[in-house]
Chain A
Amino acid sequence: MINILFFGQLKERLGCATLQWPITKSLSVQQLKQQLIEQQCQWQEWLSDSQVLCAVNHTIVDHHASINVGDEVAFFPPVTGG
């Protein structure tokens, strides 16, 4: 199982803030996105956006990064603080 979080405009577009997702072995960020889109096809438009960032355990990673059981994964738009 992994915990998935969504933030900002992405959270509103998906209509989802957090999600428990079952995984039994490691997978890449790209593979996780594919699984999510297969489950929720209407998410494709927003999750496929190349601007969407991903963090694994609070560190921004690229789409090849590995996700392991127990990780916290977050997807969000480019940041706009300050």
Chain B
Amino acid sequence: MIHIQTEDFDMAHEYQALRNDNHNDGAIVTFTGLVRDVSVNLPLQQLTLEHYPGMTEKSLTEIVSQAKQRWPLGNVRLIHRVGSLNSHEQIVFVGVTSKHRQAAFQACEFIMDFLKNQAPFWKKETTEQGEQWVDAKQTDQQALSRW
């Protein structure tokens, strides 16, 4: 399940959906990304997320598919919000199930690392000084090398 949506998501609902129809897996790992309340040194007023409809879904589908080839995964749920968000709101959710915890932990990190480097989303922050596009981080790029 991959969703790009403006509305918020419910962690309990997503967790239950990962458990449903899944009696063989012994591990569920989830990650939730939140909007931080500071941009550099200024309080964040708003975060706007733009994406490339069509390519975003294709990119995320490929990332999940690669994760499923590397680890024996059961259910995978991936949600990324777009549009205008406020501080402390949820942005992204990744949940994976597997028979054992190591595969679930690794697959969850793998999906997030590739999402941050390949999925076509762009963040713009608004502070009292105006709007500023977020620059890509070198550390995100370097994170791919471990895979």
Contact = CB atoms under 8 A, between A and B. Distances in A.
5 contacts: A8-B122, A55-B120, A74-B120, A80-B134, A82-B140
A76 B56 CA distance: 13
Interface residues of B, number: 29
Interface of A: 5, 7-9, 12, 55, 58-60, 74, 76-82
B54 A58 contact: yes
Contacts of B117: 79
A7 B136 contact: no
Interface of B: 33, 49-52, 54-55, 58-59, 80, 91-92, 112, 115-124, 133-137, 140
B137 to A, nearest CB: 8
Contact of A82 (B52, B55, B121): B121
Given A7-B50, A8-B50, A9-B133, A81 B55 contact: no
A8 B55 contact: no
Nearest to A72: B54
Contacts of B116: 79-82
Contacts, number: 72
A79 B54 contact: no
B112 A82 contact: yes
State the main secondary structure of chain B at its contact with A. mixed
Nearest to A81: B121
Contact of B33 (A7, A80, A82): A82
A76 B51 CA distance: 10
Nearest to B91: A82
Nearest to A12: B133
Nearest to A5: B52
Given A58-B54, A80-B134, 10 more contacts: A8-B124, A76-B120, A77-B122, A77-B133, A79-B121, A79-B136, A80-B123, A80-B136, A81-B119, A82-B91
Contacts of A82: 33, 80, 91-92, 112, 115-116, 119, 121, 140
A67 to B, nearest CB: 15
A80 B52 contact: no
A9 B122 CA distance: 8
